Structure 1
Amino acid sequence: MFRPRPRPRAYNAPVSFTVRAITLDLDDTLWPFAPIGARIDQVLHEWMLQHSPATAAMFPVEAMRELRERSFRDNPHLHHDLSALRRLTIAEALQASGASMDLLEPAYEVFYAARNQVECYPDAIGTLARISARVPVAAVSNGNADLERIGLMQHFAFQLGSRDHGYAKPHPSIFHAACQRLGCGHGEVLHVGDHVEMDVAGAARAGLRTCWINRTGAAWSHPELEPDLEFDTLTALADWLDAHLADACRPTSGTYA
């Protein structure tokens, strides 16, 4: 399904435009995150039952989730680094329960292994291969997924996470950094993602073209900005690229290292 949306009147942009590269969100764009989050909670709790029963007793799944949410609220300076926040949450749970801090890194690795066990949307992998064969694709994410561990890195020019960059979406600098590495002007890059503010509004303010992947059929909710494109699957985006970018070419000046 394709629903073209005009950008704010100041842009006065047509539905058909040049796309020399794509930046792509990961969580809830390539795969749903909710099943991952639930599995992480359960796997980490089961590990604590075996290796630190006192921690598991003091922080069952719901209590550990509440601790994680509190750590997020209390540490806004770490919002770009979800790995640091996860380590902080585990460390607080271990300390509060009198457990050895030697368990911190093994517990984190249990979390991280579960975090990278993703199940992509049915259309995602095949469509990603189609899109990356047409234009360079860079992953731009606030999450801490590892495309190498997941086995999808071959479809991407590079992965730019907020932890490495130092700022999270919707900060414009992370979008601009991706454009620079791609060797493209801001208006030549299409950012694709599911989140109204983090992906669409953030990228639009940074000067990128935007595509909202709206798999749930939700109504657009931003009061000021709208995406250039809206699709309910990545396949529909690939079809749009095939129809509109017959003359698209890869940038000649990109440096993806």
Structure 2
Amino acid sequence: MLDLTLIKAITLDLDDTLWPVWPAIERAEQALLDWLARHAPRTAALQAQPAARHEIREHVNGLHPELKHNLSALRTKAIRLALSRSGEDPDLAEPAFDIFFAARNQVTLFGDVPQSLEFLAGRFPLVALSNGNADIERIGIGPYFKASLSAQQFGVGKPDPRIFRAAATAAGVQPHEVLHVGDDAALDVLAALDCGMQAVWVNRAGLPWPHDALPHQAVATLAELCGVLAT
């Protein structure tokens, strides 16, 4: 069970905790294809083939292991490679990525999230902690957060304890005073526990818990967590 007396700050995962990520990614992929169809049609035809798109991404990932946490850079390099292979202008990669990234941040928050963020931010400093490249300012939830820390920005991602400790520092507290909240059993919950934090598993899909070590609390929604913290 949670020890509410210890909590002085909350770190929050983003993708699949505050919104479903794959609908946003799929919309962004389509926005990118639509833009390429107008500006680089041969590349659009190549990118429309799932096998080719996967091969290009894997090739870029293999060439640039140092960028494994920088999803934006990897995406841009993959677009550039597709343009080059198609005989079209590789300098279109940056504006093409801008189209993708704008759509990637057009997320649909889970219904309980806006009110829950308002509740949580009114009681604790909140720090966004994500392995993804979502931009909380573009999404419109930036005012709720004291800080935002991503693997892309920090250079390592969850479950590395360094990014959890950095998030605690950003909140102005010690790790044991942090409650981390996220949907991923390993990257969020187990990793936070290993750092001495309390951890809440947001299990919107009603899945069975897959590990021996347990979260301090499991909830189906952020609203349920707010109810726990209000007691």
Match of 2:22 in 1: 34
Q: Which of these residues, 56, 69, 86, is aligned with residue 97 of structure 1?
A: 86
Number of aligned residues: 230
Q: Which of these residues, 98, 109, 113, is aligned with residue 124 of structure 1?
A: 113
| C-alpha distance in 2 between matches for 1:137 and 1:195 | 18
Match of 1:229 in 2: 217
**Off by >3 Å, runs of 4+ in structure 1:** 14-17
TM-score between both structures, scaled by the size of structure 1: 0.85
Q: Which runs of 5+ in 2 are unaligned?
A: none
Q: Which of these residues, 7, 16, 40, is aligned with residue 19 of structure 1?
A: 7
Match of 2:172 in 1: 183
Higher helix share: 2
% identical equivalent positions: 42
Q: Secondary structure at the match of 2:162?
A: helix
The aligned amino acid for 1:45 is L
| C-alpha distance in 1 between matches for 2:45 and 2:160 | 39
Per-residue CA deviation, residues 111-150 of structure 1 (Å, 9 max, x unaligned), is: 1100110100000011110011011110011111111111
Match of 1:84 in 2: 73
Q: Which has the higher contact order (CA 8 A, sep 6+)?
A: 1
Q: Secondary structure at the match of 1:23?
A: strand
Q: Secondary structure at the match of 1:225?
A: coil
Q: Which of these residues, 206, 215, 219, is aligned with residue 217 of structure 1?
A: 206
Q: Secondary structure at the match of 1:138?
A: strand
1:143 corresponds to 2:128: no
Q: How far off its partner does 1:73 sit?
A: 5.2
Matches within 5 A, 1:50-69: 50-60=38-48, 62-63=50-51, 65-67=53-55, 69=57
| C-alpha distance in 2 between matches for 1:68 and 1:33 | 22
Q: Please provide the CA RMSD for this pair.
A: 1.7
| C-alpha distance in 2 between matches for 1:72 and 1:37 | 19
Q: How far off its partner does 1:71 sit?
A: 4.5
